[in-house]
Amino acid sequence: MRRAIAFLTPLPVGGGPPNGITFDWFPLVGALIGLGVGSAWWLADLAFPPTVAAALVLVADLALTGMLHVDGLADAADGLVPHHRDTARRLEVMAAPDVGAFGVAVVVVVLLLRFAALASQPVSVLLIAGLWCGSRTVMAVGARAFPYARAEGGLASAFTGGDWRPVTLYGIVAALALGALADGRRTGVAVGASVVAGLVVLVAARRRIGGYTGDVLGAAGIVGETVGLLVAAAKW
């Protein structure tokens, strides 16, 4: 668990580098991060209007994740979104240290959607916990059920492999349960939609680059969370 926390957050918890069982703890650590972000939302809502509270929630999430997933989203967008590129070129672009127009545009749109969705719905700590649990479950499933795209390996390849079914079962059950406890059917469906959206990103990456990378896992997680927030904010 400490290894998973050290990988998913900038918190100095020790534990060493990730290993083969680190992904088993991703759903639980995701739920804990979500509880932290959701608590920040609840506290900010007590002191500020909804728009300011929503902005502070974005800041809290970026701080708790060390902007790891936003960075992955930008790199994955630069590599996966453009048309008419071969696999080698897509992987080369994703490995480059700079961010291109596709990455900037996608990150801006996603952050705006997250801000609007948070500002337009009531505070729900359990919803955030469920969505963040589901997004880390998708990351774990992607790393275990999909091939790694880079032949030379990379950061996420350090804990590739293992049976994807146990972590899928407990992660999805936990995420849906947290969502359902938040506000019944509306939030339960939102968590389910977030998992599906994250899996769509993984499938798209499989078709365009042959599998996943660490950037793809981050993109799948943050896209799933964003879709879940939008579904929860819809007029039910």
Q: Which residues of 94-124 are buried (b: 16+ CB within 10 A; e: fewer)?
A: beeeeebebbeebbeebbeebbebbbbbebb
pLDDT of 14: 78
The model's confidence at residue 119, banded by pLDDT at 50, 70 and 90, is very high
The pTM score is 0.93
pLDDT tens-place string over residues 13-29? 877 777 778 889 999 99
- Report, as an integer, the average pLDDT of 97-105: 92
pLDDT above 60 for 134: yes
Q: Are 48 and 56 in contact (CB under 8 A)?
A: yes
Q: For residue 217, how many C-alpha atoms fall within 13 Å in the half-sphere facing its CB?
A: 28
* Residue, of 17 and 144, whose pLDDT is higher: 144
pLDDT tens-place string over residues 43-92? 999 999 999 999 999 999 999 999 999 999 999 999 999 988 889 999 99
Q: Where are the domains of the chain?
A: 2-233
Distance, CA of 23 to CA of 19 (rounded, Å): 8
